[in-house]
Amino acid sequence: MTEPDFTIGVEEEYLLVNTDTRALAEVPPAMMKACKAALGDKVSPEFLQCQIEIGTGICQTAEDARTELAHLRRTIRDLAADHGLAPIAASCHPLADWKHQSHTDRDRYNQLKRDLGGVGRRMLICGMHVHVGLNDNALRADLMGQLSYFLPHLLALSASSPFWQGEDTGLASYRLSVFDNLPRTGLPPAVDSWEAYQRSVNTLVDLGVIEDSSKIWWDLRPSAAFPTLETRICDVSPRLSHTVGLAALVQCLTRMLWRLKQKNQRWRKYDMFLVQENRWRAQRYGTTEGLIDFGRGDIVPFAELFDDIMALVDEDAGILQCTRALDDLRDIVTNGTSSDRQRAVYNATEGDQPAKCAAVVDHLIAEFSADL
């Protein structure tokens, strides 16, 4: 089999806040027009009017993605500033109430609102998606089941949503608690082949339940629009370097699994019931309490698991030229996730709850530009 190109594409969703009040703000039409003029189809509205989405083109390497994402972030930041606004890249605003937000008036989002009812209205969350180019549908189906094992590890590293409506939820990623209320979410089911996957999708399409597979929102899915595997488990990361590191890790893990396949080997597929337990641990604790290593039969500190993964993908990181990007993830392992940093700011700030949440927003505004 010809080696896939393993190109990557990254999508990020941002929230816009008023720099005076720190409250969420709707994207002004003039700002969106300016963004479109500057970035073309790499920027778009999102489901809620306080959100904006960006997406890179096809990137050969993680460093290419870093360059493009930096440009996209700078452009959004600078154009938002013209309107007294600022973007933040966190999966939940620390204080905002979903009941006060309006959805974007577009056919796609109007249909989503009708289809999802009350659970759709609560979708005041932002995520990050990573596409890895694979040139064969059978390969996409095969690697999806193996890559699912590592989804909790990616979630743990990316966790950036500890607060919901002003309260500390006790979770590192509250975003998933909201998103999992939607249908067709969560870990992907076991799929034996591309044909089996297509049969299941076509059953729902033929019944008129969904129009196509883009309405399947698993943590990992074959993209409906591109010849890629799309990883959707991650919270959006405030710092660019962490976004790039996570994208590089997804890229390297995908290549590592392909490399095993060339040797007639594969990553063991564990029951999704077991992987789901790790997903919950990552959602609850981030990187602080460790995940289950099912091969060892033990709960292992995350730093040790991270070192194991780095050893697994060392060859692939060299070939894909992303060693620097992976090294940036060690900052998370050593110093904590965004959720940990947000909690530290909240707890260190004197005053009432709004003052503490405002300090968290200021922190997130600063982190958005910290490594551009």
pLDDT in tens, 320-333: 999 999 999 999 99
* pLDDT (tens digit per residue) in 173-189: 999 999 998 999 999 99
Backbone angles phi, psi at 60, to 5 degrees: -75, -35
Greater confidence (361 vs 98) lies with 361
* pLDDT (tens digit per residue) in 122-151: 779 999 999 999 989 999 999 999 999 999
Confidence band of 106 (pLDDT split at 50, 70, 90): low
User: What is the predicted pLDDT for the residue at 107?
Assistant: 64
* DSSP sequence for 40-109: GGGEEE-SBTTEEEEE---BSSHHHHHHHHHHHHHHHHHHHHTTTEEEE--SS-SS--GGG--B--SHHH
pLDDT, average across residues 8-19: 97
User: What is the predicted pLDDT for the residue at 206?
Assistant: 93
Residue 305 has pLDDT above 70, yes or no: yes
User: What is the predicted pLDDT for the residue at 332?
Assistant: 97
DSSP-derived pairing of the beta strands 228-235 and 127-133: antiparallel
Q: What's the whole-model pTM score? A: 0.95
- How many other CB atoms sit within 10 Å of the CB of residue 334? 10
Residue 104 has pLDDT above 90, yes or no: no
* pLDDT (tens digit per residue) in 353-368: 999 999 999 999 999 9
Percent of the residues in the chain that have a pLDDT greater than 90, as a whole number: 84
Confidence band of 110 (pLDDT split at 50, 70, 90): low
